[in-house]
């Protein structure tokens, strides 16, 4: 059971995760690699198939570099929150995305960082 200071209503958390997802979409569509990376924790890990670079990027700096390279040729992204699950104090969000011809799902682990949610781990299929 969460301590009283950590409790949040399910609709409130869903709105916060949807807002975090929208920040990602907005930064992505502006092709702002620094803004995208800022949505991740310092020790974040992102795994994906496709595009350029390695399948795994570890840390904000590597994630920012990855997006900077990919933004040179990438289209815009469309994404929406499909489902979310509590994992202790963290949230696992399942999102559906479309980037040009690529479509798929992304599993994202969000953690609280002060008054915002940040991405600790993201996996795209």
Token pair 């008054």 is found at: 115
Cα 98 off chain centre by: 14
Could you give the strand order of the β-sheet that contains 40-47, starting from the edge strand earlier in sequence?
Answer: 56-58, 40-47, 116-124, 102-113, 90-99, 77-87
Under DSSP, the state recorded for 6 is G
Rounded CA gap, 28 and 39, in Å? 11
- The partner residues of 49 in beta bridges, in order of sequence, read none
Residue by residue, pLDDT tens for the chain (125 residues) are: 444 444 556 788 999 999 999 999 999 999 999 999 999 999 999 998 765 566 899 999 999 998 888 888 777 889 999 999 999 999 999 999 998 888 899 999 999 998 899 999 999 88
Among the CATH numbers 3.30.1330.60, 2.40.30.30, 3.40.50.720, 3.10.450.50, which is that of 4-124?
A: 3.10.450.50
**List of residues 6+ apart from 125 with CB closer than 8 A:** 49, 104, 105, 106
pLDDT for position 64: 94
Rounded CA gap, 31 and 109, in Å? 22
Q: Give residue 113's region: left, alpha or beta (phi > 0; psi -120 to 50).
A: beta
Q: Where are the domains of the chain?
A: 4-124
């Amino acid at each position: 059971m969460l301590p009283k200071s950590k409790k949040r209503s399910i609709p409130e958390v869903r709105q916060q995760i949807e807002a975090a997802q929208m920040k990602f979409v907005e930064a992505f569509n502006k092709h702002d690699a620094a803004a995208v990376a800022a949505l991740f924790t310092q020790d974040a890990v992102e795994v994906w198939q496709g595009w350029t670079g390695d399948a795994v990027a570890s840390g904000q700096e590597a994630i920012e570099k990855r997006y900077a390279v990919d933004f040179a040729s990438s289209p815009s992204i469309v994404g929406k929150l499909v489902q979310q699950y509590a994992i202790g104090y963290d949230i696992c969000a399942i999102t559906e995305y479309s980037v040009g011809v690529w479509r798929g799902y992304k599993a994202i682990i969000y953690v609280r960082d002060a008054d915002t949610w940040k991405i600790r781990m993201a996996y795209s299929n």
